[in-house]
Amino acid sequence: MADNEQSKRYDEMIVKEIDERRALRALSDKPVSREIIDRLLTAATYAPSFGNNQPWRFLVLEDEESMETVRKRLPGGNYWARPCPAVIAVVTREDLDGQMPGNRNYALFDTGMACMNLQLQARKEGLVAHPVAGFNAIELRRDLGIDEDYILIALMFLAYPGPEDTLSEKHLAMEKGPRNRKALSEVVFYKKWEN
């Protein structure tokens, strides 16, 4: 069976929120309540972690002054994030979690798992949680008073879906287009590893 036929066949068996989640960019400025934000964060903290170390740290920004601080550190390509009413800065530090031989630092791995939980809970709440690496992390870390030994790994922009007429042609096509994924045969090997 061709690879994409196989993933199509499984589509309807995948957990609904996993299937429906997309990093959407047509976003509204409608406020997101603290209660919902706290639910997203609770879902995030239900993630597993090495030795239950829970290395994730989150800084919630939802007031206009803080949002303006974040907007100043976004490059032009992330214009779509500007209307968002809230953002969660995702922070960790390598020594907050297990470090094992073979270059295995679990702080980033475990923090990523927490962020996935957050995104799926957001989907269930009818919200978009869009992860972003495109920002000036050195400047923003300073602006937010986060010490240098912490890693400001991502921003999770939170918003309800909004108007599409603000999007560039490229982003509109991505918004409307199908999920774009490598075939399983490119990323999965059975029995024999391929370098």
Should residue 131 be labelled a site residue for ligand FMN when binding is judged by CB under 6 A? yes
Should residue 179 be labelled a site residue for ligand FMN when binding is judged by CB under 6 A? yes
CB of 89 to ligand FMN, least distance (A): 13
CB of 179 to ligand FMN, least distance (A): 5
Should residue 161 be labelled a site residue for ligand FMN when binding is judged by CB under 6 A? no
Q: Which of 133, 165, 170, 195 binds ligand FMN (CB under 6 A)?
A: 133
Q: Which of 4, 10, 16, 23 binds ligand FMN (CB under 6 A)?
A: 23
Should residue 40 be labelled a site residue for ligand FMN when binding is judged by CB under 6 A? no
CB of 54 to ligand FMN, least distance (A): 20
Q: Which of residues 63-82 bind ligand FMN (CB under 6 A)?
A: 78
What is the spatial distance between Cα 161 and Cα 10, in angstroms, rounded to a whole number?
27
Half-sphere exposure of 93 (CA within 13 A, CB side): 8
Should residue 132 be labelled a site residue for ligand FMN when binding is judged by CB under 6 A? yes
Which among 39, 60, 42 has a CA at the least distance from the CA of 114?
Answer: 42
- According to DSSP, the residues that pair with 131 across neighbouring strands are 156
Q: With contact defined as beta carbons under 8 Å apart, do 106 and 55 qualify? A: yes
What is the spatial distance between Cα 85 and Cα 29, in angstroms, rounded to a whole number?
5
> What single string gives the DSSP state of each residue in 36-91?
HHHHHHHHHHTS--GGG----EEEEE-SHHHHHHHHTT--GGGGGGTT-SEEEEEE
Widest distance between CA atoms in the chain: 54
Should residue 154 be labelled a site residue for ligand FMN when binding is judged by CB under 6 A? yes
Q: Which of 7, 57, 108, 134 binds ligand FMN (CB under 6 A)?
A: 134
CB of 32 to ligand FMN, least distance (A): 19
Binding site for ligand FMN (CB under 6 A): 22-23, 78, 131-134, 154, 179
